[in-house]
Amino acid sequence: MIDGVLRERDAACADLDRALDALVAGGSPFVAVTGEPGTGRSALLRRACARAADRGVRVLTARAVPVETGYPLATGYGLLEGLDPVPAPPRTGPVGAEVLHAWCRAVLDLARTGPVLLVVDDLQWADEDTAQWLQMLLRRRREAPVGLLVALNGTHDGLGWATAPTGPSDVVLRTGPLSLAAVREVVTAGYPMPPDRVFGVLARRSTGGNPAVLQATLAGLDRAVPPTAAAVPELLRCAATARRDHVSRVLDGLPPPWSRRSGWRRCAVPSCSRCAGGSAAPDRPPAPGRVPRCPPPAWSAAPTTSCRPIPR
């Protein structure tokens, strides 16, 4: 599946490789990958993590989730929980600047022993304290080889989170739908013969060129039936199912006040006033009135002049 998701992502992969080269050479690159769900953002991050690890870079990863948006330093703790020792959170009260500086020092001290890459997927759901900590860390990243790679939903792109100063290896990458030629290549890879024009055009149109939707559509087809006009009715049926499932997954990822199927986990701050004493059991939501409204995400990596779309 990753092959299909990363198709037509050669320019993005090259930019990520250059950022990794800069990190290994002692630089501190910042790369943001934006795009709609299913267009390969997470696949690009997984590829970058694997290549960084192969080159001896210490890789720390975390995925922000909507249910933890209101928990102080929840995403940040997920990033650093593999360190020994883990930076200590405050015992009580709100997260102060001294705590954020201590977390910065922990990462910078680690980077002085070798390059470190922090990777955050779905950054738009990160809690406010983690966002402030990452901003602070980026302002100090010239002190040691620390790279930051993030992915965020394209609907949150360009909301004005500025980095200063902007480095030469900082870049924003945008993922988009596949072209008709790429869709034909993906279909051909799964069949003993290339699709005819009608099948190819309708495969792109019915899936919107979304790599994940296209893969799910093809997975539901009978590969014994050639990809010709005769298979179009089944193609359209599978595409409708795949798109419906895709939309459902996207909606399931939105942050509700709370969800019966959501697993509430402990935040990084004991006795936190925002999440019912720092913990909430899976079978009960946080105390009434203690779950703040999700703050509007604000994350932008580099000036818009340095943003360049991935060729389609």
CA dihedral 63, 68, 71, 73 (to 10 degrees): 0
Q: Is the pLDDT of residue 263 over 80?
A: no
Q: Tell me the pLDDT band of 251, cut-offs 50, 70 and 90.
A: confident
CA-closest candidate to residue 178, choices 212, 133, 155, 146 = 212
Report the predicted TM-score, pTM, of the whole model to 2 decimal places: 0.74
Q: Which CATH class is domain 2-177+297-309?
A: alpha beta
Q: Is the pLDDT of residue 297 over 60?
A: no
Angle between helix 128-139 and helix 97-111 axes, rounded to 10 deg: 50
Proportion of the chain above pLDDT 70, given as a percent: 72
CA 46 to chain centre: 10
pLDDT at 243: 94
Sequence ranges of the domains in the chain: 2-177+297-309, 180-252
Q: Is the pLDDT of residue 173 over 70?
A: yes
Residues 109-125: tens digit of each pLDDT = 999 999 999 999 999 88
Comparing 187 with 91, the larger pLDDT belongs to 187
Q: Tell me the pLDDT band of 6, cut-offs 50, 70 and 90.
A: confident
For residue 153, which phi and psi values (nearest 5 degrees)? -60, 140
CB 25 within 8 A of CB 168: no
